[in-house]
Amino acid sequence: MLRDAALVAGKDLRIELRSKVATNQVLPFAVLTLIIFAFALDADRGLLSTVAAGLFWVTVLFSGLLAIQRSFALEAGDDARDALRLSGLDGAAVFLGKAAAVTVQLLALEVLLAVGAVVLYDVSLSGAALLIATCLLATAGIAAAGVVYGAVAAGLRVRETLLPLLLLPVLAPVLLAAARASEAALATTTAAGWPWVRLLAVFSAVYLAFGVVAFGPLLEEA
């Protein structure tokens, strides 16, 4: 199953690499969002460095919505979705593959955004272990839940508007936990960060398990 998942992930990533939509549109969008926040919050008052963690994760969330929509738009044309279904790949493998591809893209995006935050928001990166654990687990959670709901919305005429409505409430715990853990890592608060990382781990595990079970039925009857 893991080999099949790697096949699906490889396919998605290869398409993204060749179509360059992720690098030419999603990445610039994310950086643009960082700049927009600076306009909204008056960049010169030192406010940005205190709220940087929260803004960072909101940006990741919005870019994640785009990445997830992309992940299913890939299969919208030429009945590629039916082809995927007929390929004999297990639903769970397709789910894990797509989630892995989204995770890889978002992690790359987060590295770039972190650099952006350092440059634009005057953030000094510290607490590396906590920060890396937070990024890995939060991104896995966003990707797992996102791919489940992406499949729910896939193939519908209203998918662009439906996905945020479904996904954002579900990702509320991730946003909360990731923002708090990052704040702790960047030492903008004195609160402990690791309990939040545990919550992120539980969230990712729950949605990965749910996706493995639910993705087969979701693919079947699209």
* Footprint on this chain of another protein (rule: CB under 8 A): 148-149, 152, 156-158, 162, 165-166, 168-170, 172-173, 176-177, 180, 189, 191-192, 195-196, 199, 202-203, 206, 210, 214, 217-218, 221-222
Could you tell me the smallest distance in angstroms from the CB atom of residue 73 to another protein?
18
For another protein, the closer CB: 131 or 178:
178
Could you tell me the smallest distance in angstroms from the CB atom of residue 218 to another protein?
6
User: Cα–Cα distance between 71 and 180 in angstroms, integer?
Assistant: 28
75 to each of 99, 154, 209, how far by Cα in Å? 15, 9, 23
User: Cα–Cα distance between 204 and 209 in angstroms, integer?
Assistant: 8
For another protein, the closer CB: 7 or 168:
168
Tokens read off for 13: 């990533």
What type of residue sits at position 91? G
Tokens read off for 81: 């979705």
Could you tell me the smallest distance in angstroms from the CB atom of residue 215 to another protein?
9
For another protein, the closer CB: 91 or 116:
91
User: Cα–Cα distance between 215 and 199 in angstroms, integer?
Assistant: 23
From the CB of residue 25, how many other CB atoms can be counted at a distance below 10 Å? 13
Could you tell me the smallest distance in angstroms from the CB atom of residue 155 to another protein?
8
Helix (H) or strand (E) run with residue 145 in it: helix 128-153
For another protein, the closer CB: 97 or 211:
211
For another protein, the closer CB: 10 or 217:
217
Could you tell me the smallest distance in angstroms from the CB atom of residue 115 to another protein?
28
